[in-house]
């Protein structure tokens, strides 16, 4: 295999925690309000929204950004009207992706207020036939915003229970599907990153629920060629032994996998959940039957390029990782002022909204210390905008 030297690029900005808008449920008319222009929605909806505009005078459209590097958490409130009532995902490049009850999707920089239009949600292949409220909360599982060679922004969606993926760039008119080869039940794509190194390609690296990785060549992305994943055939032994060699079918709610560039290394993070299913006590009437999950442990693996295998790491040394429902991030802890050998985490799934309000998205957040194998709560002071029925708190790296 041809080897290309890795471009070492440690992230130079500590990720901040962006909280939700604090809304537990917003109806169509409440969400539209004065924040969408008439050319974005049907006229009948605009009329209904205008009839009740007086109720929006006191709406708070700010989002809180928390800097966790200090002993006392510093909180900054930023105007984020394109995040109000919308499900959002953070990124490493100053952008958040927002999508709401309507079909409009944007990249938005909450500091500069710049906005980039993305293809309409209706152009996503195999879109569910359901209400805007349902699509906002459940259809898109994960979004990763990547900056590839030439500073080109690429957005990858994982949706339909992580069974499908699509890709687009700002200004595109539609989402392009990514073909995911089936490997029995092992076909849920959980995370993606951009990497240029001794994998032998300049492109996107995907990981599925078993820890297998797949590639998409960047030339194909830029030339809009048909995109299909090519699996490497590498698996995490722990996942195979625990989740695959059992009588029950693999349940991806039991764990989640993430991948991240960490200096020259390619790391995989395995996050294990404790889940409870109790359909009778569900508040929302939908198809999901998981009403509670809680992170209980993590494992980290380093990819060995020579034999395409994962080696478990017991110590991250001076590295801190950030995982959640956004791009996975890695920093040098000593330079950023955060805890070394630790994994900071927020909610991955918004399905906690199926239970009681104290289990909305925002309940599963903390820092895992690998040295003593303990999860500790993050110091979030008394911030009230943490829980939401459709949006998770997220890691966000500011950029101006």
Q: Is residue 218 situated within a structural domain? A: yes
Contact between 294 and 271 (Cβ < 8 Å) = no
* SS3 (DSSP) at 173: coil
69 touches 76 (CB < 8 A):
no
Lowest mean pLDDT segment, chosen from 2-16, 205-219, 339-353? 2-16
Nearest to 146 by CA among 113, 97, 181: 97
How far apart, in whole angstroms, are the C-alpha atoms of residue 118 and residue 189? 21
- pLDDT of 77 over the 50 cut: yes
**Bigger pLDDT: 225 vs 114:** 114
CA distances for 298 relative to 79, 252, 269, 315, 372, angstroms: 35, 15, 7, 12, 12
- 9 domain-assigned: no
Q: Is residue 192 in a domain? A: yes
In a domain, 5, yes or no: no
Q: Measured between alpha carbons, how far is 88 from 95 in angstroms, rounded to an integer?
A: 10
Tokens 């708190």 -> residue = 393
Segment 330-358 mean pLDDT? 77
Q: Which two tokens stand for residue 285?
A: 């009437």
Cα–Cα distances (Å) from 69 to 75, 333, 340, 378, in that order, read 11, 10, 12, 11
Number of domains comprising the chain: 1
β pairing state of 189-196 and 74-79? unpaired
Rounded CA-CA distance 145/92 in Å is 8
Letter string b/e over residues 151-164, b meaning 16 or more CB atoms within 10 A of that residue's CB = eebbbbbbbbebeb
At residue 125 the predicted structure's pLDDT band, cuts being 50, 70 and 90, is very high
- Cα 395 from Cα 23, distance rounded (Å): 19
Q: Is residue 373 part of a domain?
A: yes
> 1 lies in a domain?
no
Question: 322-348 burial, b for 16+ CB within 10 Å, e for fewer?
Answer: bbbbbbbbbbbbeebebbbbbbbbbbb
Q: What pLDDT score does 42 carry? A: 33
Confidence of residue 3 (pLDDT cuts 50, 70, 90): very low
Per-residue pLDDT tens over the stretch 135-177: 988 899 999 999 987 788 999 999 998 889 999 999 999 999 9
7 falls within a domain: no
Domain that holds residue 236: 16-396
Helices (H), the chain: 28-32, 43-50, 132-134, 218-222, 237-239, 333-336
**pLDDT in the model for residue 50:** 34
Question: In whole angstroms, what is the distance from residue 16 CA to residue 380 CA?
Answer: 12
CA–CA dist 177, 228 (Å, integer): 9
Phi, psi (5° rounding) for residue 38?
Answer: -55, -30
Q: Establish if 183 belongs to a structural domain.
A: yes
Mean pLDDT along residues 231-254: 69
Burial 21-52 (b: 16+ CB within 10 A, else e): bbbebbebebbbbebbeeeebeeebbeebeee
């Amino acid at each position: 295999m041809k080897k290309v030297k890795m471009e070492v690029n440690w992230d130079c900005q500590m990720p901040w925690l962006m909280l939700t808008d604090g809304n537990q449920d917003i109806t169509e008319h409440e969400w539209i309000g004065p924040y969408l222009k008439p050319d974005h929605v049907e006229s009948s909806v605009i009329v209904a929204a205008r009839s009740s505009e007086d109720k929006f005078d006191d709406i708070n459209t700010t989002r809180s950004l928390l800097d966790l590097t200090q002993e006392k958490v510093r909180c900054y409130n930023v105007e984020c009207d394109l995040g109000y009532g919308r499900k959002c995902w953070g990124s490493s490049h100053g952008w958040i992706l927002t999508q709401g009850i309507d079909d409009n999707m944007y990249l938005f920089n909450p500091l500069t207020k710049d906005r980039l239009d993305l293809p309409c949600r209706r152009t996503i292949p195999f879109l569910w036939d359901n209400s805007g409220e349902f699509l906002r909360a459940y259809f898109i599982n994960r979004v990763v915003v990547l900056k590839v060679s030439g500073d080109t922004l690429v957005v990858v969606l994982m949706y339909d229970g992580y069974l499908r993926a699509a890709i687009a760039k700002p200004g595109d008119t539609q989402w392009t599907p990514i073909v995911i080869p089936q490997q029995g039940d092992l076909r849920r794509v959980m995370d993606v990153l951009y990497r240029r190194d001794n994998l032998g390609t300049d492109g996107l690296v995907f990981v599925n629920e078993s820890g297998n990785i797949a590639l998409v060549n960047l030339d194909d992305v830029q030339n809009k060629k048909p995109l299909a994943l090519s699996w490497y055939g590498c698996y995490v032994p722990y996942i195979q032994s625990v989740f695959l060699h059992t009588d029950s079918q693999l349940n991806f709610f039991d764990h989640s996998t993430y991948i991240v560039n960490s200096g020259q290394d390619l790391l995989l993070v395995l996050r294990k959940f404790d889940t409870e299913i109790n359909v009778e006590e569900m508040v929302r009437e939908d198809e999901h039957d998981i009403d509670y999950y809680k992170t209980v442990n993590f494992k980290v693996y380093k990819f060995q390029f020579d034999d395409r295998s994962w080696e478990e790491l017991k110590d991250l040394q001076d590295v801190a990782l950030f995982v959640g429902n956004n791009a996975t991030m890695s920093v040098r802890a000593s330079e950023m002022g955060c805890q070394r050998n630790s994994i900071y985490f927020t909610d991955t799934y918004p399905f906690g909204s199926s239970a009681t309000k104290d289990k909305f998205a925002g309940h599963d957040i903390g820092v895992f210390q690998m040295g003593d194998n303990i999860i500790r709560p993050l110091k979030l002071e008394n911030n009230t905008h943490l829980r939401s029925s459709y949006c998770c708190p997220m890691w966000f790296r500011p950029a101006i």
